[in-house]
Chain A
Amino acid sequence: MFTSRLTLLWLLALPVCVFTAFFLMPLGVVLISSLSTQDGQFTFAQYGRILMDGYHWQVIGVTFRLAILSTLICVVLGYPLAWYLVRIVKWRNWRRTCVILLILPLFTSNIVRSFGWMVLLGRTGLVNDALLGAGLIDRPVRFLGTETGILIGLVYILLPFTVLTIGNALARVEPALEEASRDLGAGAARTFFSVTFPLTMHGVMAGGIIVFSMAISAYVTPALLSGGKVTVLAMLAFQQYSTVFDFNYGGALSITLLVFTMALIGFSSWLARLGAQDMKGN
């Protein structure tokens, strides 16, 4: 079965056609319209409008700040949880339950999850009640409509990705390497930082890339938790398509978002490759 070039052609025909027609061509249309005026003249004016304007840089700044912070927090919180699941949990069924609990949010709509936070973070919500009850604050903190609120929601939505990728990497670390390090006299901390952590670095990077690319393009969570008071790049682009109907300017915003995402993914995988070479070099 499946040996000739002709079969190969048959196999590839449908996927290539579908992705050309419904993925590449639409993106091409957006690119062209982002470089056009309303009446079809070639121009860089749409990009000029974005890059010359302080408001846009502020929105880009907020978007990046949220994405960078959520990536860092997801790694910092995700690593201990991954460690716990892979190294500490002894009872198989409990680990299985934990993994199910970890994946359950991923299988639930962003809306549902953000909605849960809308209830929790409200003025009289559980979070404020708890903080007040513990005596940590005197009056309710405003979370909704602030970057903190969006950050809580984003971290919540993206955390499972880092736990899964780091957990996968941890589960594959060769125990002999750690034992060797301990036998040679390194302490637990030293073994972790010079053996285990570098060996799981690709998991950290993979999770970080997923989280970053999803955080930078997130729309639903910021839209729901911002209450219209904080704007991120994806919200700005969506406005142009849904209410302003300026496809040229909206296109330029979309392409900007796309370029930022791809540039960051490219940069991170370059870093990861560099790290991998480093490891081989040593």
Chain B
Amino acid sequence: MIIRMIALTTLAYLVLPLVVVIGVSLTETKFLVFPPQGLTLSWYRVILEDPTYVRSFLVSAVLAALATLAAIVVALPAAIAMARYSFRGKAALSALLLSPLVLPHIVIGAALLQYGASIGLVRNFPALLVGHLVIVTPFVLRTLMPLFSPEQLSLEEASRDLGASAWATFFLVTLPQIRAGLVSGAIFAFITSFINVELSIFNTTSTLNTIPVQLFNYVQYSVDPSIAAVSSLTILAAAIAIILIDWLIGLDFLSGR
């Protein structure tokens, strides 16, 4: 009974700030207040009519999509190599490719800024993209690695014996078997990129900005409910992503017995 109460309180603690943000976005007042006073969607109109928000949103979405695609291109061959081959330095390679998961993003961002400055890769879209590629690749790699099983090899051999080319075999036999994992890894990667501040903040400018960095800059200096409205939209996007993952792979992994 005590455990149940602690657990439910903890759960409430996890949900509360998100509820507050959504609540604040609906207030009729010009200042932040929770519970909201009056109910209005006018703050959403304010942000949808603000070209800088719309532009940042597009930058974030395109950046996250391209970084995710690039991460798949990088992680897929690495996952296949690590699952099917034994070679020297495999453990080191796997540690290297997964290390952005635990290393401070702010250090990776600073490093990329300093290094990029020498080759013109600074404060532009490609600079943002390579940084995001590095931090999202481990997410795709981690979901892909366990998906390559020995049974697949015999299926692939059968496909080759029946005359399919290597590429046809990959797309018709291998890919369908890893599709669910690939998609969920891709969603994790997309979201990780979409909500990143620590890395992007080094390479954004007033005209090339991502949504979280723009929010971060706004929140520190001025606050009005329009920020809550933008935040609520990102919460909505997150909820959609999670429901997609749940639908794809099922989130019932905590069931014990």
Chain A interface (Cβ < 8 Å from any Cβ of B)? 1-2, 8, 10-12, 14-16, 18-19, 22-27, 29-30, 33, 77-78, 80-88, 92, 95-96, 98-105, 107-120, 125-126, 156, 159-160, 167-168, 170-171, 173, 175, 209-210, 213-214, 216-217, 219-220, 223-224, 234, 237-238, 241-242, 247, 250-251, 254-255, 257-258, 261-262, 265
A214–B100 Cα distance when bound, in Å, is: 11
Closest A residue by C-beta to B20: A116
A257–B103 Cα distance when bound, in Å, is: 9
Q: Is the CB of B252 within 8 A of A99?
A: yes
Contacts of B183 in A (CB 8 A): none
* A26-B112 in contact given A12-B93, A19-B134, A105-B14 (Cβ < 8 Å): yes
Contacts of B202 in A (CB 8 A): 241-242
Stretch at the interface among B38-46, B47-55, B238-246: B238-246
Where chain A touches its partner, the secondary structure class is: helix
Chain B interface (Cβ < 8 Å from any Cβ of A)? 3-4, 6-8, 10-11, 13-18, 20-21, 24, 32, 34, 73-75, 77-78, 80-81, 84-85, 87, 93, 96-97, 100, 102-108, 110-116, 118, 130-131, 133-134, 137, 153, 156-157, 160, 166, 169-170, 174, 191, 194-195, 197-198, 201-202, 211-212, 215-216, 219-220, 223, 227-228, 231, 234-235, 238-239, 241-243, 246, 251-257
Selected from A77, A112, A216, the residue in CB contact (under 8 A) with B234 is A112
* A217-B104 in contact given A11-B77, A104-B242 (Cβ < 8 Å): yes
Selected from A15, A102, A241, the residue in CB contact (under 8 A) with B77 is A15
Contacts of B243 in A (CB 8 A): 100
A261–B8 Cα distance when bound, in Å, is: 32
Where chain B touches its partner, the secondary structure class is: helix
Selected from B16, B20, B75, B242, the residue in CB contact (under 8 A) with A107 is B242
Instruction: Report the minimum CB–CB distance from A105 to chain B (whole Å).
Output: 6
A84–B6 Cα distance when bound, in Å, is: 9
A27–B99 Cα distance when bound, in Å, is: 12
- Shortest 3 CB-CB distances between A and B: which pairs? A116-B17, A217-B104, A84-B7
A168–B50 Cα distance when bound, in Å, is: 44
Closest B residue by C-beta to A16: B93
Q: Is the CB of B15 within 8 A of A119?
A: no
A-B contact pairs, 27 of them (CB 8 A): A1-B169, A8-B85, A10-B77, A19-B97, A23-B134, A26-B108, A29-B111, A78-B10, A84-B6, A86-B256, A103-B242, A109-B212, A114-B219, A117-B17, A118-B219, A119-B17, A119-B24, A120-B34, A171-B255, A209-B102, A219-B104, A223-B216, A237-B107, A241-B113, A241-B114, A241-B202, A254-B110
Q: Is the CB of A119 within 8 A of B111?
A: no
